[in-house]
Amino acid sequence: MAITGSDLSLYFHVPFCKSICPYCHFYKIYYKPEMGKKYLKAIERHINTVKTTLENNNIVSIYFGGGTPSLLDTQIVEKILTLINPPSKNIEITIEINPEDYSIDKIKKYKNMGINRVSLGVQSFDDKLLKILKRRHSSKKAKDAILDIYRCGIENISIDLMYDVLHQDFKSFQKTIDEIKNLKITHISLYNLTFEKETFFYKNKKTLKNLMPDEKESLRLLNKAVLEFEKLGFKRYEISAFAKKGFESFHNIGYWIGRSFLGFGPSAFSYFENKRFRNIKNFQKYIDAFNLNNPYIDFEEELKYPDNINELLAIHLRMIRGVDILKFEKGIGKIPKKTIEILKNSKLVDFEKNRVKLNKQGLLFYDTLASEII
């Protein structure tokens, strides 16, 4: 199963939460302390099943996502990193943290075990909107968390922000942007609120949609964010990602350029050897799979030509720099003529010699283009 020498990223899904956000569609469960040891035991066994693959490939990034990974005891996180034994101390290792679920001691331990990047779930610096989103932290708590993390020696700090939030207006969004000016952060992930299946907001979307900014106001909020972030030195390098120079998320870029990755934990996806597969989307069943030696994968598909090329091309186009067609075809495969025709006839992309990239309209209607390609 191993491809010697290929770059490989690792993702660990930690599904534990103290409260369930009404908009979040990721797999999560309410956290109980005894779950940590069960999680670690399953992860150890999972790692052991792919040990050869890990040894024969170049691990280039590690990401702990969730859920709330910071709820795990630091010894568990350290044990997982020890089992992986990253080949280089310089690789990007990220952990997601909620502003209300950290301590100075925990951050220092993260730093000592090699974690060098934190993704903080802020969402907004408007306390009223935080309550609407059922977040358990305040604006002040989020700002304090950023400063504490920086003071503990982890200087690569990313924050998540949302727009199109219920009852959000331009003044509220401007307040959030103004707060960024004095924060020790290097990266911003900006998302618009969407009603995803299996969420509280989705179940009540008919009522709640009327409380969101309309399309015109939504575009105004997005344009304001892009303009202000650029002024502050955050360059947009992917549709929803902005970074100061040298602080682009290496792990996330891997998803957009088709780098192989293995996912650990319940519901985590993997992409390897042209196959996409998902771990069982249930904590106890994931645990039982390794205790009882049962299959731990509940979904798998292998994309054949031209579907694999079209999907990778569509994902690549999320990057602001676009796609160098010659390099893409040399490294990944021949783009079907039909797909090239779609791109040439599209009003959502521009061509610059051999490079195709989203234009202003394309950045707004990427999903439309992606559906046409795929």
Domain boundary among 238, 256, 274: 256
Domain boundary among 236, 256, 276: 256
pLDDT score for 303: 86
329: number of Cβ within 10 Å:
15
If asked whether residues 206 and 107 sit together in one domain, one would say: yes
CATH code of residue 108? 3.20.20.70
Contact 324, 270 (CB under 8 A): no
47: number of Cβ within 10 Å:
17
If asked whether residues 49 and 121 sit together in one domain, one would say: yes
C-alpha span between 269 and 256 (Å, rounded): 14
pLDDT score for 266: 98
Q: Which tens digit of pLDDT belongs to each residue from 194-246?
A: 999 989 999 999 999 999 999 999 999 999 999 999 999 999 999 999 999 99
What is the four-CA torsion angle of 346, 347, 349, 351, rounded to 10 degrees?
Answer: 80
SS3 label, residue 192: strand
SS3 label, residue 97: strand
Q: Indicate whether 22 belongs to any domain.
A: yes
Q: How many domains does the chain have?
A: 2
SS3 label, residue 98: coil
User: pTM higher than 0.75, yes or no?
Assistant: yes
Q: Indicate whether 276 belongs to any domain.
A: no
If asked whether residues 60 and 194 sit together in one domain, one would say: yes
Q: Residue 149: which domain range? A: 7-256
Q: Which tens digit of pLDDT belongs to each residue from 102-147?
A: 999 999 999 999 999 999 999 999 999 999 999 999 999 999 999 9
Bridge partners for 358 per DSSP: 349
Computed on alpha carbons and rounded to an integer, the radius of gyration of the chain in Å comes to: 21
Q: Which tens digit of pLDDT belongs to each residue from 287-314?
A: 999 999 999 999 999 989 999 999 999 9
pLDDT score for 89: 74
Alpha helices (runs of H) in the chain, residue ranges in sequence order: 35-49, 51-55, 74-84, 104-112, 127-132, 139-151, 170-180, 200-203, 205-208, 215-231, 250-257, 283-291, 307-316, 325-331, 337-345, 360-364, 366-373
If asked whether residues 52 and 168 sit together in one domain, one would say: yes
Domain boundary among 240, 256, 272: 256
If asked whether residues 245 and 342 sit together in one domain, one would say: no
If asked whether residues 327 and 178 sit together in one domain, one would say: no
End-to-end CA separation in angstroms for the chain:
27
C-alpha span between 186 and 182 (Å, rounded): 12
pLDDT at 5 over 70: no
- Residues of the chain by 3-state class (helix, strand, coil), percent to 5: 40, 25, 35
Alpha carbon 34 to chain centroid, angstroms = 27
Q: Indicate whether 100 belongs to any domain.
A: yes
State the Cα angle at 118 between 366 and 166, rounded to 5°: 50
If asked whether residues 16 and 94 sit together in one domain, one would say: yes
If asked whether residues 225 and 104 sit together in one domain, one would say: yes
SS3 label, residue 197: coil
Q: How confident is the model at residue 151 (pLDDT cuts 50, 70, 90)?
A: very high
Bridge partners for 9 per DSSP: 61, 261
pLDDT at 2 over 80: no
Question: Is the Cα dihedral 311, 65, 281, 75 positive or negative?
Answer: positive
Cβ contacts of residue 125 below 8 Å, gap of 6+?
139, 142, 143, 175, 176, 179, 180
